[in-house]
């Protein structure tokens, strides 16, 4: 699990575009303690993207890719939407599925990887919008959870179909009027986190991406639980600033406003007993590692 | 099956037919094809070498199978490709500009690629137009991506295409080799060296 598997042929190094040279020399592949704090000091697995200026989804993408525990052994499955404009630029294996089909693809992929690479940990992470997760792909989403497939599902919830101009989605809040949904939503936002819990997900979180350290924590937890126990689900609020009438610099504030205790993206977490046990164990190990490191540094001083 | 169809320089038209659908078949081991006609491999070596020497911008497009050191075989091919490039550079006149441009990624790049430094199989014409490439060789590109690119190039550009394929060859290239190895690539470099001075360089516009 390291950069040893990602080497440019020496005779071709000088002709490779700079971003590929950087990926090999300065990315954090193989570093099991990688995290959002590496952003700015190492090569990110996403740098250029074609999302709108100030798009919270691009922030979420950066934090998530910085937080994957083992990007060199991770395959992400995307679906139709703004995310599919970003995947061509990321330094992680990924598959674009048919709209809504992402959890079915991920199920087969995870099983195939277990057979093909026995004894090696391979993470599968689904990353799709709310339309793909809750409307068009709800069947595939739920069935994967019922079957206890061992992968993480992340939903970028922007509460409408943003990529196609603002149609109503199941995760849109009640009463919201969108550009192509002029009557306003007449029923409540689908409670997918609760449905996920009842469908067998072992780790479920509903939050915004305003705090990178929180995103890192939930991503790592979700992936570790999915590896060992079963399905996990993260619903992350990534508002579409264009479709809700905000300016480029207002995305962060929008998320902060929406995560207040009484708001729909107040931090909500469900952890099964099995997952609690695992996460406690992992936290203890991490604490031990940090204490040892501290001791070592003190010894050096 | 006999055919009248020839795989020639484009621009053929917006969407040229796949050469295979026009009756062009792949060579057997030890053979190659020129414009769709099965020939002895040495004959194709000579034609490819002449193309490089007579082109204004003879270019090699190495793909991911040789850009990355997957294993010793891949690294060996990369060394041979570099040798071929250096040989072409040495053997052409100062008015000709040999290029080595990588195809590092098959995924379409949005909003745009940089055609000066890379080629993308989904729009290879951009790199060819930008650099005025009139002869190119694909090597280390997965077959399905090479097929896609070769057809686009034949459809929309004047570029002469050569495929140095590690499998069974490409119907859509104007010259196609099969079972490419590092030795075969070096052999092509030897042909270029051998023919140096015997091929008329391109005339200035």
- Confidence (pLDDT) at B15: 84
Q: Which residues have C-beta within 8 Å of that of residue B8, sequence separation ≥ 6? A: B35, B174
Question: Which of A8, A85, A89 minimises the CB distance to B68?
Answer: A8
Interface of A with B (CB under 8 A): 6-12, 15-17, 20, 50, 85, 87-89
Q: Chain B contacts of A89, Cβ < 8 Å?
A: 109-110
Highest-scoring range by mean pLDDT, A3-7, B14-18, B153-157? B153-157
pLDDT higher than threshold 70 for residue B205: no
pLDDT at A147 (0 to 100): 98
Instruction: Kindly state the percentage of chain B with pLDDT values over 70.
Output: 98
Nearest Cα residue to B104 out of B114, B96, B95, B94: B114
Residues in chain B: 205
Of the candidates B12, B64, B2, the residue with the CA atom closest to the CA atom of residue B172 = B12
CB contact at 8 A, B32 and B65? no
Residue B99 maps to a domain: yes
Which residues does chain B have within 8 Å of residue A82's beta carbon, measured at their own beta carbons? none
Contact B74 A89 (CB under 8 A): no
**Residues of chain B positioned with their CB less than 8 A from the CB of A76:** none
* Torsion region of A88: left, alpha or beta (phi above 0 gives left; psi -120 to 50 gives alpha): alpha
Q: Between chains, do A8 and B69 touch, taking CB under 8 Å as contact?
A: yes
Q: Is residue B108 part of a domain?
A: yes
Average pLDDT over residues B92-110: 92
Contact in structure between A235 and A156 (CB atoms under 8 Å): no
Residue closest to A150 by CA, chosen among A132, A123, A174:
A123
Assigned domain for B2 exists: no
What per-residue confidence (pLDDT) applies to A1? Answer: 43
Q: Give percent above pLDDT 90 in chain B.
A: 89
Domain assignment of residue B66, given as a range = 34-195
pLDDT of residue B1 exceeding 70? no
- Would you give the DSSP letter of residue A250? G
The pLDDT, as a whole number, for residue A299 is: 86
> Residue A48, Cβ neighbours under 10 Å: how many?
11
- For β-strands A123-129 and A74-78, DSSP reports them as parallel
Average pLDDT, chain B: 94
> Chain B closest CA to A83's CA: distance in Å?
12
Instruction: Domains for chain A: give ranges and CATH numbers.
Output: 34-274 (3.40.50.970)
Give per-residue pLDDT as tens, B130-146.
Answer: 999 999 999 999 999 99
Please enumerate in sequence order all residues whose Cβ is within 8 A of that of A210, keeping only pairs 6 or more positions apart, or say none.
Answer: A252, A255, A256, A259
The pLDDT value recorded for residue B5 is 92
What's the pLDDT tens digit per position in B54-83? Answer: 999 999 999 999 999 999 999 999 999 999
Q: Which pLDDT value is given to residue A200?
A: 97
Neighbouring CB atoms inside 10 A of A30's CB total: 16
In a domain, B28, yes or no: no
What is the rounded distance in angstroms from the CA atom of residue B160 to the CA atom of residue A173?
57
Pairing verdict, β A232-237 and A203-208: parallel
Nearest by CB to residue A9, choosing from B68, B110, B117, is: B68
- Kindly indicate the confidence band of residue B2, based on its pLDDT and cuts at 50, 70 and 90: low
Q: In sequence order, what DSSP letters do the residues of B124-163 get, joined into one string?
A: HHHHHHHHT--EEEEES--HHHHHHHHHHHHHH---EEEE
Local structure of A167: helix, strand or coil: strand
Count of domains in chain B? 1
Distance CA A18, CA B104 (A): 11
Our CA angle for A157, A158, A162, nearest 5°, is 130
Q: What are the structure tokens assigned to A15, written together? A: 């002709």
Give domain status of residue B74, yes or no: yes
Residue B136 lies in a domain: yes
Spatial separation of the C-alpha atoms in residues B179 and B44, rounded to whole Å: 14
Find the CATH number of the domain harbouring B54.
3.40.50
Token pair recorded at residue B126: 């951009």
In a mutational test of the B interface, the residue from A3, A7, A9, A53 whose CB has the highest number of chain B CBs within 10 Å is A9
A interface mutation test: which of B86, B104, B112, B182 has the most A CBs within 10 A? B104
Tell me the C-alpha distance between B22 and B16, whole Å: 10
Does residue B201 belong to any structural domain of this protein? no
Q: CA angle at residue A176 from A100 to A77, to 5 degrees?
A: 20
B4 vs A213, more confident: A213
Report, as ranges of residue numbers, the positions in chain A whose pLDDT lies below 50. Answer: 1
DSSP H helical ranges for chain A = 18-26, 56-67, 83-86, 102-116, 130, 138-146, 192-198, 212-228, 251-258, 273-300
Q: Say if B21 falls within a structural domain.
A: no
The Cα–Cα gap between B3 and B112 comes to 39
Q: Which is nearest to B74 in space by CA: A10, A221, A198?
A: A10
| Beta strands A203-208; A268-271: pairing state | antiparallel
């Amino acid at each position: 699990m390291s950069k040893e598997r990602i080497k440019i042929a020496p005779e071709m190094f000088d002709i490779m575009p700079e971003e590929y040279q950087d990926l090999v020399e300065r990315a954090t592949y193989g570093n099991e303690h990688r995290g959002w704090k590496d952003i700015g000091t190492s090569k990110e697995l996403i740098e250029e993207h074609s999302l709108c200026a100030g798009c919270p989804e691009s922030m979420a993408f950066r934090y998530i890719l910085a937080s994957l525990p083992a990007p060199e052994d991770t395959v992400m499955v995307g679906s139709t939407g703004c995310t599919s404009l970003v995947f061509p630029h990321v330094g992680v294996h990924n598959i674009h599925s048919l709209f809504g089909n992402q959890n079915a693809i991920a199920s087969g992929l995870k099983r195939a990887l277990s057979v093909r690479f026995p004894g090696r940990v391979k993470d599968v992470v689904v990353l799709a919008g709310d339309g793909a997760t809750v409307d068009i792909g709800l069947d595939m989403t739920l069935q994967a959870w019922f079957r206890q497939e061992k992968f993480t599902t992340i939903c970028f919830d922007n509460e409408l179909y943003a990529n196609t101009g603002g149609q109503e989605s199941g995760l849109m809040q009640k009463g919201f009027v969108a550009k192509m949904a002029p009557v306003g939503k007449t029923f409540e936002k689908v409670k997918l986190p609760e449905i996920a819990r009842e469908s067998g997900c072992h780790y479920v979180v509903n939050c915004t991406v305003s705090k990178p350290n929180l995103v890192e924590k939930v991503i790592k937890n979700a992936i570790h639980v999915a590896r060992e126990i079963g399905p996990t689900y993260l619903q992350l609020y990534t508002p579409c600033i264009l479709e809700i009438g905000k300016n480029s610099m207002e995305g962060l504030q929008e998320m902060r406003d929406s995560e207040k205790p009484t708001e729909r993206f107040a931090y909500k977490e469900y952890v099964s007993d099995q997952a609690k046990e695992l996460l406690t164990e992992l936290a203890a190990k991490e604490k031990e590692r940090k204490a040892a490191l501290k001791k070592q540094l003190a010894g050096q001083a | 099956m006999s055919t009248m169809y020839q795989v020639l320089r484009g621009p053929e038209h917006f969407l040229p037919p796949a050469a295979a659908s026009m009756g062009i078949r792949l060579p057997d081991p030890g053979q190659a094809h020129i414009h769709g006609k099965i020939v002895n491999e040495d004959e194709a070596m000579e034609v490819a070498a002449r193309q490089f020497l007579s082109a204004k911008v003879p270019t090699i497009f190495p793909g991911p199978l040789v850009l990355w050191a997957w294993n010793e075989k891949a690294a060996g091919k990369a060394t041979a490709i570099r040798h071929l490039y250096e040989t072409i550079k040495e053997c052409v006149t100062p008015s000709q500009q040999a290029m080595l441009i990588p195809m590092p990624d098959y995924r379409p790049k949005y909003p745009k690629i940089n055609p000066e430094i890379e080629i993308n199989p989904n729009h290879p014409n951009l790199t060819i137009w930008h650099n005025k490439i009139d002869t190119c060789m694909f090597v280390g590109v997965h077959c399905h991506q090479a097929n896609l690119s070769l057809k686009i190039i034949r459809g929309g550009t004047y570029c002469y295409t050569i495929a140095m394929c590690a499998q069974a060859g490409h119907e859509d290239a104007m010259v196609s080799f099969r079972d490419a190895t590092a030795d075969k690539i070096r052999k092509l470099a030897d042909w270029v060296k051998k023919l140096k001075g015997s091929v008329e360089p391109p005339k200035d516009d």
